[in-house]
Structure 1
Amino acid sequence: MSNQDITPPQVITCRAVVCWGPDQPLKLEEITVDPPKASEVRVKLLYASVCHSDLLGSRGKPVQVFPRILGHEGVGEVESLGSEVTGFKIGDVVVPVYIGECGSCSNCKKDKTNLCLVNPLSLNGLLRDGTSRMSAQGKPLFHFLSCSTWSEYTVIDASYLVRVDSAVEPRHASFLSCGFSTGYGAAWKEAHIEPGSTVAVLGLGAVGLGVIKGSSILGATTIIGVDLNEAKRGKGEAFGMTHFLNPNQSEKSITELIQEMTGGMGVDYCFECTGVTGLVSQAVDSTKPGGGMAVIIGAGDENELHINFMSLIMGRTIKGTIFGGIKPRSDLPVLFDKCERKEIQLDQLASHEISLEELPNVEEILKEADCVKISIKF
């Protein structure tokens, strides 16, 4: 049966959490979700999760477009398909991604980048034709990046979807659609960590724990986790961390503490996962002269930073990454397979499970000391 033979999908009314303006409270609303157009898929969410980038979105980052439905991590089932969609069928379990992979553009053919030129990162909150499929109170709602997962249903261009192996637990698949995969990929695809390397990770949220796990699997022998929250020590150790630093317990800088722990030399790789711009220069200075690399993963409120140019002249490098260098359709199946074979176990990542009704209070939940990753069950 072709997609054209299927009964045309209808408008759906469902619930979603809407952000009506910068720094305004999140509100649970009844919204309308239109049918998918030719190249699009409508997805019924099973789980979504919370990333700090969503909170940046609630403050109008990276662009001021409101009202909007946040959320870019999730997993769901294909509910309906546009007439031109191939490679998916109704009932498929899929995760959204915010960059695509066409496989044929000059960037997709290179190993050094995951930024597809045909299916780029979208920041305007609209789908390819410049419109939205979601509305509430008679007003169109902007999507977040290439999707909006804080909704019972969402519409996504098929180029930004990846099918999930049925053996992967849905909640874990949601975590792999951004945060953990971003960290793991930064170690694997960006830093290309070698066996015997020394690594420092600033910030032990889902991204930082992903870096730790990737570094451990790739053979790093010293993995230093840095966080102000003592409760993160156990989480880091569960994913392969060998040493833990809490900067609040010393008057020394993070750089000094890492250098002391590495015989004064610094680490081969330092990953900045918090988005705090003041930590970027410390990440650079925490690496070895003549070859150390700082990988910047976290996004923050500030767009500019200051770095001591002497640190770079001494042979260090600084590298930015989006989605950890992961190519969605080539690389995510590798992580799904590692989960299936228990090489990656994400149970330790999941700290809170909430309902859509509880989501408007998410910032308060994130402040809890034991909070690592929040999943939203639909």
Structure 2
Amino acid sequence: MKAKAAVMWGPGEPFSVEEIELDPPQEQEVLVRIEAAGLCHSDDHARTGDAPANFPVIGGHEGSGVIEQVGPGVLHHKVGDHVVFSFTPVCGRCHWCSTGRQNLCDFGALIGTGQMISGGVRTHARGRDLGPAALLGTFSSHVVVNEANCVKLDEDIPFDVACLLGCGVPTGWGSAVRVGQVQPGETVVVVGIGGIGANALQGARLAGAKNVVAVDPVPFKHDKAKTFGATHTASSFEEARELVSDITRGVMADVAILTVGVVRGTMMEPFLDLVSKGGRAVLTGVAPFDDHDAKIPLQMFAMYEKQLRGTVFGGCNPRADIPLLAALYRNGQLQLDELVTTRYSLDDINLGYQDMLAGKNIRGIVVRDA
């Protein structure tokens, strides 16, 4: 069938919105009509080269929609199901899935290869095969994906906020709750208030943090941060360090979470300075793959028993935590509507990324017929 998608043909190039050919779903695959897709910074990392990509690639890894066709061997989904995609697939059988760490599923090794889980690709244009970003490629009117990436969604959850449950919301929320293990009464610092950082603020608030400090150089994001649970704001590492020292009487933060758009090795020392003795520093943001130079004061790191923790998908289990987060939204405990700053049509996707890089959005989304 014919579909419409945003294709990045090479590094440094903008998206080209054009007609593509889409093959029918194969073993354990489904055809989904996309209703909404989130504009995550990770998709821009492919353009800049900070993350690997096999070009040409259809962008997008946050998405929600309706299943229109199922391939052979599909066990858990049917035509008409509302689904949200998890960019981390879940096989349910590997060591990681079977020990409750679905975010580390072995299928995740295929992310960035430009191939489907069962091999090959299902999308084509200009006589070439098109790989899907993160096994998904949600910047499209329709996609074929493996059911390992699909989580069934209750129909009362709107598509335009449900799409965020596939990456930004669990990654940020889980960075605080699952990986940071925020406890009631603690002090938490979140550095970088975009689609991930805003949800780290929400996670800290829901976990009962006493002080929640949002750090971002963009004044607009200071006001938005308070919507998601920030009690204090700062514009830089230096300003945050002074503020946190003041409100904790020199103890410093129990948890700090780094969610800036591009992590640099030079950030690690001032980032670790924000946490207390025995504090947990959670590295969530994406760094360039060739940046291996992170300087850490080792004696301080050891003698103060500070902890540096990495995470993907916020340590969440997609099949359990995506429905949990949807339930928190339904009950009014998790703010999703407030995350969406601007809605775009697929044709305006490059404008959406310009706005993101300019600091205008918490999260922009592409919606059908916008």
Aligned to 1:298: 285
CA distance in 1: counterparts of 2:108 and 2:281, whole angstroms: 28
> Per-residue displacement from partner, 1:45-76 (whole Å, max 9, x unpaired)?
00011000000022344324101111000101
**Contact 1:198 1:269 survives alignment (8 Å):** yes
Aligned to 1:27: 16
**Contact 2:344 2:352 survives alignment (8 Å):** no
* Structure 1 residues 53 and 334: CA distance shift in structure 2, 3 A: same
What is the TM-score normalised by the length of structure 2? 0.93
Aligned to 1:171: 160
CA distance in 1: counterparts of 2:346 and 2:161, whole angstroms: 18
Matches within 5 A, 1:355-374: 355-374=345-364
Letter aligned with residue 284 of structure 1? L
Shift in Å, 1:123: 2.2
Matches within 5 A, 1:222-301: 222-247=211-236, 252=238, 254-274=240-260, 275-277=262-264, 278-289=266-277, 291-301=278-288
CA distance in 1: counterparts of 2:137 and 2:36, whole angstroms: 12
Secondary structure of the corresponding residue to residue 172 of structure 2: helix
The counterpart of 2:306, out of the listed 316, 323, 346, is 316
Task: Indicate the structure with greater helix content.
Answer: 2
Residue ranges of structure 2 left out of the alignment (5+ in a row): none
The answer to whether residue 323 in structure 2 is matched with residue 333 in structure 1 is yes
CA distance in 2: counterparts of 1:296 and 1:134, whole angstroms: 34
Moved more, 253-262 or 218-227: 253-262
CA distance in 1: counterparts of 2:56 and 2:131, whole angstroms: 6
Letter aligned with residue 376 of structure 1? V
CA distance in 2: counterparts of 1:103 and 1:81, whole angstroms: 20
* Structure 1 residues 47 and 118: CA distance shift in structure 2, 3 A: closer
* Structure 1 residues 64 and 377: CA distance shift in structure 2, 3 A: closer
Residue ranges of structure 1 left out of the alignment (5+ in a row): 1-11
**Contact 2:172 2:314 survives alignment (8 Å):** yes
Aligned to 1:7: none
The answer to whether residue 129 in structure 2 is matched with residue 129 in structure 1 is no
Shift in Å, 1:370: 3.5
Letter aligned with residue 244 of structure 2? I
CA distance in 2: counterparts of 1:112 and 1:189, whole angstroms: 11
Measured on the aligned residues, the alpha-carbon RMSD in Å equals: 1.8
Shift in Å, 1:110: 3.0
Aligned to 2:63: 74
Letter aligned with residue 357 of structure 1? D
**Contact 2:173 2:314 survives alignment (8 Å):** yes
The counterpart of 1:63, out of the listed 43, 49, 52, is 52
> Per-residue displacement from partner, 1:88-137 (whole Å, max 9, x unpaired)?
01111111112233444332233567312356552201012331101101
**Contact 2:61 2:136 survives alignment (8 Å):** yes
* Structure 1 residues 133 and 112: CA distance shift in structure 2, 3 A: closer
Shift in Å, 1:180: 1.9
**Contact 1:272 1:279 survives alignment (8 Å):** no
CA distance in 1: counterparts of 2:360 and 2:53, whole angstroms: 32
Matches within 5 A, 1:44-59: 44-59=33-48
* Structure 1 residues 142 and 104: CA distance shift in structure 2, 3 A: closer
Runs of 4 or more, structure 1, over 4 Å off, are: 118-121
Aligned to 1:5: none
Q: Percent identity?
A: 31
What is the TM-score normalised by the length of structure 1? 0.91
* Structure 1 residues 58 and 368: CA distance shift in structure 2, 3 A: closer
Secondary structure of the corresponding residue to residue 256 of structure 2: strand
Aligned to 1:3: none
**Contact 1:102 1:119 survives alignment (8 Å):** no
CA distance in 1: counterparts of 2:128 and 2:236, whole angstroms: 47
CA distance in 2: counterparts of 1:144 and 1:31, whole angstroms: 15
* Structure 1 residues 118 and 69: CA distance shift in structure 2, 3 A: closer
> Per-residue displacement from partner, 1:13-58 (whole Å, max 9, x unpaired)?
1111110100012111111111010111111100011000000022
Shift in Å, 1:365: 1.8
Shift in Å, 1:263: 1.9
The counterpart of 1:115, out of the listed 93, 104, 110, is 104
CA distance in 2: counterparts of 1:246 and 1:178, whole angstroms: 25
Letter aligned with residue 270 of structure 1? A
**Contact 1:285 1:311 survives alignment (8 Å):** no
